[in-house]
Every structure is written in structure tokens, then in C-alpha cells.
Structure 1
Amino acid sequence: MAGEGTEGNVPGSYKEPGIAWMTGFLLTVSFIGILAFVPLRKVAWAGKDSGVVAGLVGCGLIKLLVSISADLMHDFKTGHLKLTSPRSMIIARIIGTAMGCVIAPLTFLLFYKAFDIGNPDGQWKAPYALIYRNMAILGVEGLSALPLHCLQLCYGFFGFAVVANLLRDFIPAKYGKWVPLPMAMGVPFLIGGSFAIDMCVGSLIVFTWNMIDRKG
């Protein structure tokens, strides 16, 4: 059923009915995600009175829904460029998700029992655990839990992002290309310094390559 010869499953053409598998599956996932917000009302209610744990549970559910949908969309885009069958990708995703439901909890329990997870001085520091915990505390305590002048800095960088985007859109292209992208500037703060270093090295390689190719 996952072969390219199957009717309606020929990859590489948006006119083929096979694209309906992709669209239908994404709409189903999105609809299920909307329904999943209904029980989250109870989680949000529990998080009002110092419910940091309930807030973390809600964050985990939301992040799981968004992460799976985003990964699936990236897989479909990559598969379209590689002329891969959409139906084959859906079947592979279902199989992988089913395996992950069993393997991921067992792997976590193995690490949790064998290593000192979450110790700031240990080998497995779990930095994201600290980040999400602080986010949950911030959601419970409100803006008063933010550091001093944090909101002012947020307002300032937000204004800079708006001005930078307007400049890129309205000034001539030969000058606008030198205006930094606020979104690209914010990604390293979210993901980490390693991503910024990788992007810098990759950009330098591409820039050097274009310079050499232009001279040739």
C-alpha cells in the first residue's frame, strides 16, 4: 500500500491525490490538538494556586503537540523535495511513534535509576528542567517574579525588531540586506550558543564560497 505505483500515491506532484494523505493527516492532528485543550482548562485552574507541577504538566502536553506537528511538517517538506511517498512517510511516522511510546519511558527510567539526573554539579545537569521550572514559577507568580528591568528590556528589543523589519521592507534592497534579522538574532538565545557558532561557521563558509565562485 505504500508503494509509489499505488494510485494516488505518486510523489513529487501536488496535483496527485496522494497529497490528500498529507493534508488530511495534518488536519486530523490539528483537530485532535484543539480538542486536547479542553482538559487543559483543569490543568490551568490547578496551576493558579502555586501549582507549579500542574503548570509543568500543561507545558509538556502543549509542547508535545506542537513538536510532533512541526516535526511531521518538516518531514513532509523534506520528503516532497526528495520525491518520497507521503503515505510511506505517514506509515513510518506511526511506527516510529508507537516504538517511541515504549522505548522513551524505558530509556528515561534507565537514566533516572542509573545516574544522578538534575544535579547541577553532576554530569547530567538537565538544564531544560531548570528552564521549564522557572517558566512555571513565572506563570504562577506573575510578572513580579521577573528580574529587575526585564520588562523594559523586552519592550526595547520588541521595538528594535519592529523597526528592523520595517527597514528591511521599505529601504532599497542593496541596503536592506545589511539590516539584521531579529528572528535570526533571537534563535541562539532560545536554542543555545552551539547553534550560533554553527550558523556563524556555516555562513562564513557560504560567504567565502560565493566570493571564490564569483571571482572564478
Structure 2
Amino acid sequence: MDKLNNKVALVTGGSRGMGAAIAKRLAQEGANVALTYVNSQEKADNVIREIERLGRRGMAIAADNRDPVAVRLAVEHAIAELGPIDILVNNAGIFEVQPLETITLDDFQRNIDINVKAVFIATQVVASQMKDGGRIITIGSNLAERLPMQGLSLYALSKSALIGFTKAIARDLGARGITANIIHPGPTDTDMNPADSDFADMQRSKMSIPYYAEPRDIAGLVAWLASEEGRYVTGTGITIDSGTNV
């Protein structure tokens, strides 16, 4: 493949689910990959071993997205070890379902810190050293565009904020040939939303094609946007959800 030969990528939340699939796919395409993780060093190390098996350099950095200092230091550590980052994938995030009337300010702040503030910090640090022609890809959600159920106000708020941010940085960085895009996955078989959960059949009922995505489906789109073929796509949101939002 080698479309991303010798590029350096950073994938936040890259130890499992979509993040792990993205990290491995970018390595398959030739990139050296750093990833961040919060809970499982074992899972992170397994991803790194797969990256290294492909002949690429990999590194796993423990960093909690709620801690702005940890996010900044993780980015700086990746740059120090692997070099300037060519591809940033803002993947780490949380998904919480809660009725509006029970949401506390603590709940609100946690969602903003992890799903929005950490994306801003990582993007700002990376952009300050990114070479011309770099890629910034953020993982949003199709729930930022359409809500099929109750209890998603905080999640939708945080993911919607990333749409405006992506459009703005596409303008800010466009003169340097840096693209910025946001991907909106629909139901995807991960630990956060397994295909055999109690809610899976309800989600399938909303789809045009009743197919629960696999993480590799999202990873393929990320790899394309990161490649030279995606050089003229910027400021754009791409929904990949089996037609859930049609």
C-alpha cells in the first residue's frame, strides 16, 4: 500500500475500537504511528506490536483527555520521538446517555473537556509544528446531525461543536495546504456500542442498509482522507452510517 510512506501519525484513543483500527490501517499504509490511551496499557501495547510487525515505528502514550496538560505533553512526546506530525486523528471521546433534567455541571464539564477541549489542545499543538500539506481528521458522530432517541443532549452538543471547529481550522490552515475534516460514524461495533447490545436492533431499524459498521470501515475513510487522494477535501463532514440519517 505505502500511500503514507514515512508519514507520522498521532491517533488519540488508539488502543481499542475505531482508534485501534485507524492506527493499524495508517501503519498498513506506511505511516509511523503514535497513539494515546487511558485505561489499558495491554491493549495499547498489542496495537503497537501490530504496527511494528508491519515494519513501522509505533509508540503508546498514557494520557487522559480530561487533563489538558497530559494531552499537550502526549503530543509533544510523540513529536520528540517520531518527528513532526503529518496526520492527526482526534478520535478519543466518551459517549454518555442521560436525561437532560439529571445532567449536572460536572457532567457537562467532563463531556466538554474530553470531547471538545482535548481536540482543541491537540490540534493547536500539532498545527504549530505541522508541515505544509498535513492532515487533521476528527471523529465526530452522525448524532451531531440527527437524533433518533432521547438522552443525547450532551453528546450531540459536544460533537456538534467539532463541526464548527473543523470548518474554522480548515480556513485557518488552508494556505499551508493542511486539510481539516470531520467524519461522522453511525453505529459501529466497538466496546462503546457493540453490535449485540440491547440497543443494536433499534439502531439497525433506522438504517437504509441494516449493516452495523466494523471499525475498519471508518479506518478506511480516515486513510483515504490522510492520503494524497484526499488533498482537496477540507472543511467537510462525511457521514458514514449505513444511511441512518437519510
Normalising by structure 2, what TM-score?
0.21
Larger helix share, 1 or 2:
1
Greater relative CO, 1 or 2 (CA 8 Å, sep 6+): 2
Larger Rg: 1
Structure with greater proportional strand content: 2
